Amino acid sequence: MELKISARNRSVVLLMLVIPLLLTGCWDRNEIEETGIALGVGIDFPDGQEEGARPIIAMTHQFALPNQFSESTSSKVQKDYVNMSSAGPIVFDNIRALSTRSARPPNYEHLQVIVISEKAARELDLKNVINFFLRNTETRRSIRVVISHGKASDIYQQQKSTKTPALELRELTDNYRKTLRIPPALTLGNMSEHLTGQSSFVMQGAANSPEGVKLTSAAVIRGTTARMIGFLSEIETVGLNWLLGNNHSNGIVEGIEPDSGAMLGYEVRKMTSSIQPIVQGNEISFQVKIKTTGKLREDWAFPGDAFDVDFIDRAEKATAAMIKQMAEKALAKTQRQYKVDVAGFGKRLSIKKPAVWKRVKDGWEDRFSRVPVSIEVEVDIQEFGTRGTKRN
């Protein structure tokens, strides 16, 4: 009997020790009212810095405001965010400076976008700029990173839109699937991979306007220096997207019908691009084949018959000529002027001809600037609506 009571007592004591552990809740929980939820970060390079001195960077944090802080009895619309600025030699020093002005420490679990100004991207090593965010356990590698025309802090100023600027910009970065005028979105993780591998790449460019933030063109980053070297125009960005052959992109291509000189509007439904390296002895060249299927959305030709085979054939050739022209403009800027490989020609060479790549990979971009590239475009108009302009 005594043995049974002793065992029972031991069970009760063990249960009393375990139950409190299950009732402790979230031991590391932070109340939302006591946390600075960072939605966006901007990085600028202030003017007036002394040559040779330690560079100073300026940062803008956009924090979400809990409802009880943004609500007001006033009839005016209240902002649901607040911007805080700081300056210091490194990113972490900027963050520490925020603690002198706010009781709520910044939290980056919900960070949506990082904006780096054009000047900062030209002056600073981008590996150093993003180093803190890569090391921070709160930061996700899927965060979008863009380059701003002008100051990054201006991007976070609310204009006519009622949305929080950081959230609106994050949504805009996904619109590359709807237009060819901006490059694919770049995540923090992808950016780190490019910089680590010293491969050149492009980033989405953002600009402020009276109507709000707008994504425009592409910023070109040289991999070997980890710095920005320039922007592509919208037409050059469209051409680069054709070279990249992004299947998720679509958009409109304007062509000119050769017989009448009238405008045509071609809607992209599918696009692919294949880059084929050609090696003859020590000579390297590339052949790019672009294929696309889509719909004839608009034609200003009169008389023009959208049901006529010859008319469709002319429309396909006119669209193909325009695509080729834009792709050649993209190559002229990136390959010959900037001397960078942002379309993956070197990568294709390394896959198809690994022995050749091993021989030429050192100093590849300088060599690539002199490599011949031919472009072929095939357009297949599969749909043309229910209306032709030529009718009896």
- pLDDT for 85 equals 92
pLDDT of 82-134, one tens digit each?
999 999 999 988 988 887 777 778 889 999 999 999 999 999 999 999 999 99
- Which stretch of DSSP H or E encloses residue 341? none
- pLDDT for 319 equals 93
Q: Give the three-state DSSP class for 300.
A: coil
Q: For residue 329, is pLDDT > 50?
A: yes
Rg for the chain, CA atoms, rounded: 28
Say what percent of the chain tops pLDDT 70.
Answer: 84
Instruction: Give the ranges where the chain is alpha helix by DSSP (H).
Output: 2-22, 67-70, 91-98, 118-123, 126-129, 131-135, 152-155, 165-172, 188-196, 234-244, 309-331, 345-352, 354-360, 364-368
pLDDT of 129-144, one tens digit each?
999 999 999 999 999 9
Written as six digits, the tokens of 125 are 């090593």
| Alpha carbons 306 and 114: distance in angstroms, whole number | 47
Mean pLDDT of the chain: 86
With tokens 């008319």, the residue in question is 311
- Per the CB < 8 A criterion, the answer to whether 146 and 169 are in contact is yes
- pLDDT for 33 equals 54
- pLDDT for 186 equals 96
Residue among 253, 157, 146, 149 at smallest CA distance from 190: 146
pTM: 0.85
Q: Higher model confidence: residue 191 or residue 76?
A: 191
- Beta-carbon count within 10 A of 351 CB: 12
| Alpha carbons 16 and 7: distance in angstroms, whole number | 14
Lowest mean pLDDT among 30-44, 65-79, 139-153, 373-387: 65-79
- Per the CB < 8 A criterion, the answer to whether 123 and 44 are in contact is no
Lowest mean pLDDT among 183-197, 254-268, 298-312, 362-376: 298-312
- pLDDT for 249 equals 62
Phi, psi of 61 (to 5 degrees): -105, 130
Q: Which CATH class is domain 233-391?
A: alpha beta
Beta strands in 27-112 (DSSP E): 36-44, 57-64, 81-88, 106-107
Residue among 44, 6, 199 at smallest CA distance from 124: 44
pLDDT of 212-255, one tens digit each?
889 988 999 999 999 999 999 999 999 999 999 875 667 888 88
Non-local (6+) Cβ contacts of 253 within 8 A are: 180, 265, 266, 268, 319, 322, 323
* Average pLDDT rounded to a whole number, residues 276-281: 95
pLDDT of 138-178, one tens digit each?
999 999 999 999 999 999 987 666 788 999 999 999 998 88
- Per the CB < 8 A criterion, the answer to whether 253 and 268 are in contact is yes
Domain residue ranges of the chain, discontinuous segments joined by +? 34-47+54-66+78-232, 233-391
- pLDDT for 323 equals 96
Q: For residue 391, is pLDDT > 50?
A: no
Written as six digits, the tokens of 318 are 């006119």
- pLDDT for 337 equals 97
